[in-house]
Amino acid sequence: MTEVRGVVVAHVYLAAALIEAAERISGIEGALTAISNDGLSPDALLTGIAEAVGDGPAILFTDLASGSCMFACSSLVRTHPALAVVTGTNLAMLIDFLFNRDQEYRELARRVVEKGRSGSMVLFPCGERDAAGPVSD
């Protein structure tokens, strides 16, 4: 099976910083590509992402579930087969991705989202902790 390509699309320097941290922690280099929206028109951003994705299976990681990065990724996923978009990207997701790129891309996308969720928690004084979840009034 072909390894899944990972492309992190984020605002300003965030993509590069996340990738650098994930690579240093995992020891795996070159499996993720950073795309910044900084100074790019919507068309230029879309072109850059499409070039980074190539022809094989890929996961696009975005920082937010809205904005120019997400709009470009959601546009691309409609026209490219074997592509998934994951929003709210965090370091736990990227590290898990690096170690599991041999999985089928749909399953891997679901896996990294779960890894990102399970790595989030709220800590309170005296060691009490809760898994982060929806906040209600």
Q: Does some domain include residue 131?
A: no
> How far out from the chain centre does Cα 51 lie?
17
CATH code of 102's domain: 3.40.50.510
Q: Does some domain include residue 33?
A: yes
Q: Does some domain include residue 15?
A: yes
pLDDT value of position 124? 81
Higher pLDDT, residue 28 or 127: 28
pLDDT band at 122 (very low <50, low <70, confident <90, very high): confident
Q: What is the pLDDT of residues 34-82, one digit of tens each?
A: 999 999 999 999 999 999 999 889 999 999 999 999 999 999 999 998 9
Residue 36 is inside which H or E element, if any? strand 32-36
Domain count, the chain: 1
Range of the domain at 60: 5-121
Residue keyed to tokens 């910044």: 36
Q: Does some domain include residue 117?
A: yes
Q: Does some domain include residue 134?
A: no
Q: Does some domain include residue 47?
A: yes
Higher pLDDT, residue 69 or 126: 69
Q: Does some domain include residue 132?
A: no
> What are 7's strand-pairing partners?
33, 60
Distance CA(13)–CA(3), nearest Å, equals: 26
Q: Does some domain include residue 100?
A: yes
